[in-house]
Amino acid sequence: MQASFWQQKWQNNELGFHLPEPHPKLVRHIKRLGLKPGDRVFLPLCGKSLDIAWLLQQGFRVVGAEWVQQAVEQLFTELDVEPVISRQGELRRYSAQQLDIFVGDIFTLDAETLGAVDAVYDRAALVALPTDKRALYSRHLATISGCAPQLLISFEYDQSQLSGPPFSVPPEEVRGHYQDMFSLELLESKAIKGGLKGKCPADEQAWLLSAKSQ
């Protein structure tokens, strides 16, 4: 799945994945990440999520990565903030107080460019990627974040009933991607009222990933 797929979604305003409020699982489980005000939270494939504004309001610094420039422009407009835009290699960086968003291919984002992060919140990245990209992504994310603790949101459903994204990433696959690097705890698994996109039964799950001791 290429960036062009998501660019087309934004151009057509097909934004069913964009929630009208901060994600309830983020609000419920943020404390499990052990963060303090001023800590820096990384949101891969962040779009213009309202989770960003909520995290800023809690006193955290936020850094994101996003394929679609239009999404990032809308984010800053809705935050009523004028970004400083600079070039970082193949990426463009949109910066404001306490906030940095990198626009471009997340696989070209390295640890030095990203900078130190204290936690990762993955609501829409792993589940947005097709099977052949998820293992590469999970390793890349752990590398550039220094195995920072993660709050991960995933879905489990019969993939034959819905093509995705979001894709079904069942618990055994989540463990397969992360268990070598992290200790995993399933914080919550709850059926989605009305089904995923109103089309098929699905569970939404929240995971806590904590780096294993060396």
Nearest to 142, CA basis, from 2, 37, 42: 42
Q: What angle do CA 196, 77, 15 make, to 5 degrees?
A: 15
* Gap between the Cα atoms of 207 and 93, Å rounded: 29
Number of neighbouring beta carbons within 10 Å of residue 143: 12
Of the listed ranges 54-63, 145-154, 162-171, the one predicted with least confidence: 162-171
Q: Is 31 exposed, middle or buried (0-12, 13-18, 19+ CB in 10 A)?
A: exposed
Query: Which residue range is the domain that position 47 belongs to?
Result: 3-12+22-211
Of the listed ranges 19-23, 170-174, 192-196, 203-207, the one predicted with least confidence: 19-23
The DSSP element (H or E) to which 72 belongs, if any, is helix 69-79
Residue 17 lies in a domain: no
Q: Are 78 and 99 contacting, i.e. CB atoms less than 8 angstroms apart? A: no
Residue 143 lies in a domain: yes
- Residues contributing to the annotated binding site for S-adenosyl-L-methionine: 10, 45, 66, 123
* C-alpha of 103 from chain center: 14
Residue 102 lies in a domain: yes
Number of domains present in the structure of the chain: 1
Q: What angle do CA 198, 199, 200 make, to 5 degrees?
A: 110
Question: What does DSSP assign to residue 82?
Answer: P
- Residues contributing to the annotated binding site: 10, 45, 66, 123
Number of neighbouring beta carbons within 10 Å of residue 98: 15
* Gap between the Cα atoms of 179 and 211, Å rounded: 9
Instruction: Report the CATH number that the domain containing residue 157 is assigned in CATH.
Output: 3.40.50.150
Mean pLDDT of the 169-179 span: 98
What are the pLDDT digits (tens) for 62-115?
Answer: 999 999 999 999 999 999 999 999 999 999 999 999 999 999 999 999 999 999
* Gap between the Cα atoms of 102 and 72, Å rounded: 9
Residue 3's pLDDT is what? 61
Residue 15's pLDDT is what? 47
Kindly compute the dihedral angle of the four CA atoms of residues 20, 77, 95, 117, in this order, to the nearest 10 degrees.
0
Residue 214's pLDDT is what? 55
Residue 213: pLDDT band by 50, 70, 90 thresholds? confident
Residue 207 lies in a domain: yes
What are the pLDDT digits (tens) for 1-48?
Answer: 456 665 665 555 554 555 678 999 999 999 999 999 999 999 999 999
What are the pLDDT digits (tens) for 158-171?
Answer: 999 998 899 999 99
Q: Would the pLDDT of 193 be above 60?
A: yes
